[in-house]
């Protein structure tokens, strides 16, 4: 009977591990399948076209050029390799500036013919119109609608997923913002975290340790939005006054908030690892004439490096994956930061802010899943790097 029960328990554990592994695998597969659908999407907004005069020499435009044309950053076709002709941007809503309601028809039945007439009469015009308004007798030509390229996404420097007629999905600013904030958060948190863990494990009395440990563990249970609110009310104004900045919502504010959030994890895990160092090793070191501090950094820390590494990895993981707190204090600007005192935006904050508004299955929706894939690989690389460094130290 005992062996039978043991087999049942063993089977339950095996089944639980199998189900967990399959679930994780399915989540990863779903993430990747949704993300890479972006590279099959068209550059121009779905259901719309860009129409040009038949005499226009410019035959192809990429997403960045289209955006600059419609944002009036490019105003002449000569800047795109065409003739010296001013660019006239036309959207469907502008048709009332050219024709009366009577000319367009009671049911807008003449809109297609009037758009054709308008483009024919204006050599410099570029028209962003629904595909249904391009009739069979259209005398101009349509810009070739290409699919979104991998290099335009991975090397792109502009993130405007809702721009029309061509959205921008450059993820470089988001990656830079994520790494910038996370790096400084760990630089702030690691020295303080290790110092406190060493103090609690090796220096403090039992009474002090029993008082500090519950308080530190309680910090890890505080919701991230509370940390964000604290950063917004206290840290952001302090940074603005200290550095005389126009706004205090910067990468530095996000780094400080994330460092505070990562501290409980680093302290708790590292302190537990140091306390697991055998007492005999400490006594042997002291017996050989080493001082207390020599014993700590020559014996205790090397013995506990695996646990310390785990605490650092968990702290980095929390810093990289944090959403709400970072969203509240970093300024939420999707630009490449040049200093830590500039507003920026991270990958998790972008996903949290935009996923609810992105149409399911659209390019914007798929680009957010791609950001999840990028975040997955960033975390994976950091974990492997820390583990490799730890194994080399051993």
What's the chain's average pLDDT?
Answer: 88
Is the pLDDT at 251 greater than 90? The verdict is: yes
pLDDT, one tens digit per residue, over 270-297 is 898 898 888 888 888 888 888 888 898 8
> CB under 8 Å to 376, separation ≥6 — which residues?
28, 31
Domain boundaries, the chain: 48-148, 172-393
Structure tokens given for 329: 């204090």
Instruction: Give me the pLDDT at residue 360, please.
Output: 86
**pTM exceeding the 0.75 threshold for the entire prediction:** yes
Q: Are 37 and 366 in contact (CB under 8 A)?
A: yes
Q: What pLDDT shows up at residue 128?
A: 94
Is residue 393 over pLDDT 80? no
Integer angstrom CA distances of residue 237 from 188, 234, 262, 327: 19, 6, 22, 16
Supply the DSSP string of 234-265, one letter for each residue: IIHHHHHHHHT-S---SHHHHHHHHHHHHHHH
Calculate the CA 29 to chain-centre distance: 20
What contacts 229, CB < 8 A, 6 or more positions away? 328
pLDDT of 144 reads 83
β pairing state of 48-52 and 88-91: unpaired
Cα dihedral 38, 42, 48, 52 sign: positive
CATH code: domain 48-148 is 3.40.190.10
The tens digit of pLDDT for each residue in 157-204 reads: 999 998 888 899 999 999 999 999 988 998 999 899 999 999 998 888
**Cα distances (angstroms) measured from residue 289 to each of 119, 145, 280, 283, 302:** 91, 77, 15, 10, 18
Residue 222 half-sphere exposure toward CB, CA atoms < 13 A: 22
- The dihedral built from the CA positions of residue 31, 36, 41 and 45, taken in this order, carries a sign that is positive
For the segment(s) 172-393, the CATH number from 1.20.1050.10, 3.30.70.360, 3.60.10.10, 1.10.3720.10 is 1.10.3720.10
Q: Tens digit of pLDDT for each residue in 150-159? A: 988 998 899 9
| Phi-psi sector, 72: left (phi>0), alpha (psi -120 to 50), beta | left
Q: What percent of the chain has pLDDT over 70?
A: 98
What is the percent of the chain where pLDDT is above 90?
40
Summarize the confidence of residues 338-358 as an average pLDDT: 91
Parallel/antiparallel/unpaired status of strands 88-91 and 125-130? parallel
Average pLDDT of span 41-67? 89
* CA distance linking residue 40 with residue 44, whole number of Å: 12
* pLDDT confidence of residue 91: 93
Return the number of other C-beta atoms located less than 10 Å from residue 252's C-beta: 25
**Which H or E run includes 391?**
helix 363-393
- pLDDT, position 389: 65
For the purposes of burial, counting CB atoms within 10 Å of the CB of 372, is it exposed (0-12), middle (13-18) or buried (19 or more)? middle
Least confident of 125-134, 178-187, 303-312, 361-370: 303-312
Q: Which residues of 197-212 are buried (b: 16+ CB within 10 A; e: fewer)?
A: bbebbbebeeeeeeeb
Q: What average pLDDT does the segment 85-100 reach? A: 92
pLDDT at residue number 145 = 83
Q: How many CB atoms lie within 10 A of CB 2?
A: 6
pLDDT bucket at 394, cuts 50 / 70 / 90:
low
Residues 289-313, buried b or exposed e (16+ Cβ, 10 A)? eeeeeebbeebbbebbbebbbbbbb
Nearest one of 102, 101, 137, 103 to 120, comparing CA atoms: 137
Q: Edge-to-edge, what's the strand order for the sheet holding 88-91?
A: 88-91, 125-130, 48-52, 141-142
Check residue 238 and give its pLDDT.
Answer: 95
Confidence of residue 245 (pLDDT cuts 50, 70, 90): very high
Residue 390's pLDDT is what? 64
Q: Read off the DSSP letter of residue 84.
A: S
pLDDT mean over 192-220? 88
């Amino acid at each position: 009977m005992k062996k039978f029960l043991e087999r049942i328990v063993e089977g339950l554990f095996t089944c639980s591990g199998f189900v967990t592994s399959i679930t994780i695998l399915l989540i990863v597969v779903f993430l990747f399948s949704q993300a890479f659908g972006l590279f099959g999407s068209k550059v121009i907004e779905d259901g719309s076209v860009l129409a040009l005069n038949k005499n226009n020499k410019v035959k192809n435009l990429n997403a960045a050029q289209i955006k600059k044309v419609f944002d009036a950053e490019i105003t002449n076709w000569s800047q795109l390799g065409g003739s010296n002709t001013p660019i006239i941007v036309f959207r469907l809503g502008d048709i009332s500036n050219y024709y009366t309601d009577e000319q367009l028809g009671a049911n807008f039945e003449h809109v297609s013919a009037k758009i054709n007439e308008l483009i024919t009469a204006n050599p410099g015009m570029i028209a962003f119109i629904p595909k249904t308004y391009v009739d069979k007798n259209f005398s101009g030509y349509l810009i070739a609608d290409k699919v979104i390229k991998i290099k335009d996404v991975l090397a792109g420097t502009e993130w405007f997923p809702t721009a029309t007629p061509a959205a921008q999905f450059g993820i470089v600013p988001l990656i830079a913002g994520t790494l910038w904030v996370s790096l400084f958060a760990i630089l702030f948190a690691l020295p303080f975290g290790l110092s406190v863990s060493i103090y609690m494990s090796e220096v403090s009395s039992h009474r002090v340790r029993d008082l500090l440990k519950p308080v530190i563990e309680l910090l890890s249970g505080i919701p991230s939005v509370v940390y964000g609110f604290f950063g917004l009310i206290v840290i952001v104004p302090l940074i603005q006054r200290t550095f005389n900045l126009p706004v205090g919502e910067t990468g530095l504010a996000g780094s400080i908030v994330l460092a505070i959030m990562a501290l409980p994890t680093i302290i708790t895990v590292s302190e537990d690892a140091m306390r697991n160092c055998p007492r005999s090793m400490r006594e042997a070191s002291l017996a050989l004439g080493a001082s207390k501090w020599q014993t700590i950094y020559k014996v205790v820390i090397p013995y506990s490096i695996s646990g310390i590494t785990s605490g650092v990895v968990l702290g980095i993981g929390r810093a990289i994956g944090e959403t709400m707190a970072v969203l509240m204090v970093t300024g939420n600007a999707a630009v490449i930061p040049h200093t830590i005192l500039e507003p920026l935006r991270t990958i998790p904050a972008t996903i949290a802010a935009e996923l609810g508004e992105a149409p399911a299955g659209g390019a914007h929706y798929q680009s957010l899943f791609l950001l999840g894939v990028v975040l997955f690989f960033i975390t994976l690389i950091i974990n492997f790097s820390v583990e490799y460094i730890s194994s080399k130290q051993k």
